[in-house]
Amino acid sequence: MGQRRLPWGPPAVWLGAVPAAFLGLVMLAPLVRLAMEAAAGAHGQMVAELWTDDYLRWRIVWSFVQAFATCVAALALGLPVAWVLARFAFRGRALVLRLLMLPFVVPTLVAAMGVLALWGPRGWISGWMGVDLQDTPWLLLYGNLFFNLCLVVRAGVDALGQVSAARVAAARTLGATPWRVFWRVEWPAIVPWLASALCLVFLYCFSGFGLALVLGGQRYATAEVEIYTLVAHELKLAQAGVLALCMAVLTGLVALAYAWIEKGLSTPARADVIALRRPAGMGAWSAVAAALLILGMFCAAPLLAIVAGAAAAGLDAWASVFDADSLRAIGNTLRFTTAALLLATVLGVAHALAARRSVWMRASAFLPFIVSPVTVAFGLLLLYPRWSASMLMLVAAYALLAYPFVAKSLGAALDQLPAHLTQAARTLGATPWRLFWRVTLPLVAPSLRRGMAFAAATALGEFAVTLFLSRPEWATLTTLIYERLGRPGAANQDAALVLATLLMLLALAAFMLIEQPAAARTMPRPRPAGVGHA
């Protein structure tokens, strides 16, 4: 028998070999090397020491606590907001739904700077209220909500859009109050969607690095920050390896739960959706105002604080953008992002096409989401010490974190292609390659651009990998911002704000240039990723 061919392309086995080899060399092999390092230095006792050592036990427990607390807060705040957006039609609603994607584009370090600009020692709100949240858990929890509240809101809006209007109407006809309708009809229908989103929230917070490093301080840093500290500052590789493997196992279990829940959500859209209605009365308009206030406080305020802080920074801070270090960092950021985006696009397209005929390839697209960037970078550092400071390794690590966005977005579009179009083209004599270029690619181009846009934003804001694998002369905007934050003085803080604003604008520009407006009319449910969560 010949090789199985895709209906519009080359043999699936050859397409799948490229991303499979890449995953093996850049992710799986480093994990094996990490396990070997952990086994060599553990002597059967180091895993137990993680729980007997008070310091390390606190790091692991706090990683769980802050992730769980964020899930609870995101659900408590996000579900009412989602219900308002899913049920009421008001001026600006479409814009609000579009802007929900912004936290997935903003780099982690920019979000951390926004939180500090609001609640830090020189923050707008903390200074006005006379409170000092430095060295408290609230800074990190607020930063987590900036990224993850919109995810829960988006999932809730999508879930409530699948609720059967006929069942709701029947319940109301039988005399059920609005609260009883929600808990007996709407809530059971949206629980799987919310559970899926909360799995992602937990993954993002549990394996997050940048926010915890900047906002956690000495006491409230997470286990991911501890892994970086053990490697970069204390050179305790075996202990770091054991901790990294434990974290990878835990995140893998949560990711499996997410995949299992997500599997049951692939259902066709309902035809009897509940129609939007204009808010009527003071209660409805108050609900709309409260929903917008919540989104403004947790999602928009950090970004506005960065822009306001940068505008007030003064000419000297803006002039620092043109010094040698800043120009070099800007050039490195654009160079690394462009190279990583090209590689991520090739890998993502090959992976998506191969996944059409391979269940294993479809499942393997989740692998880069399971392991944190810190663990990936640590494994690469151990496995390829001679290449650890090479351009090839750095770009490969960037592409590993970015290409799943291309693969998942394109794969979803391929799944929805009408079969009769490809069959008609083949009947008219089109070759597989001609069918792909003339029929398939134009149809899936919006999804491809969307995946590339998220991949570009991921590469632009990558922080953890750069700290591990970059040379000093390869500093990017993220590492330069972190360096400026570590220096004393108001001038360095202002310069960091200006650079954060520049990085945010670059990420937004890359996203808007790649994803054309026509491609953004419908936003897909967010997938796990490193956009701003590395």
Summarised one tens digit per residue, pLDDT across range 228-252 is: 888 877 777 777 788 888 888 888 7
Confidence of residue 182 (pLDDT cuts 50, 70, 90): confident
Summarised one tens digit per residue, pLDDT across range 67-97 is: 999 999 999 999 999 999 998 998 888 888 8
Confidence of residue 50 (pLDDT cuts 50, 70, 90): low
Lowest mean pLDDT among 20-24, 362-366, 404-408, 495-499: 362-366
Burial grade of 229 (CB within 10 A; 0-12, 13-18, 19 or more): middle
Q: How far apart are CA 209 and CA 226, in angstroms?
A: 10
Query: Looking at residues 146-154, what average pLDDT do you find?
Result: 91
DSSP, res 104: G
Architecture of domain 46-300: Orthogonal Bundle (1.10)
Domain range 313-534, its CATH number among 3.40.50.10490, 3.40.50.1950, 3.30.300.30, 1.10.3720.10:
1.10.3720.10
Domains 46-300 and 313-534 equal at CATH topology level? yes
Structure confidence at residue 432 (pLDDT): 65
Q: Minimal CA–CA distance to 456: which of 352, 341, 342?
A: 341
Measured in whole angstroms, how far is the alpha carbon of residue 359 from the centre of its chain? 24
Tell me the domain boundaries of the chain. Answer: 46-300, 313-534
3-state secondary structure 192-247: HHHHHHHHHHHHHHHCCCHHHHHHCCCCCCCHHHHHHHHHHCCCCHHHHHHHHHHH
Structure confidence at residue 46 (pLDDT): 62
Structure confidence at residue 9 (pLDDT): 47
Q: Which residues contact 502 (CB under 8 A, 6 or more apart)?
A: 321, 330, 477
3-state helix, strand, coil in the chain (%, to 5): 75, 0, 25
Q: How far apart are CA 410 and CA 5, in angstroms?
A: 18
User: What is the percent of the chain with per-residue pLDDT over 70, rounded to a whole number?
Assistant: 84
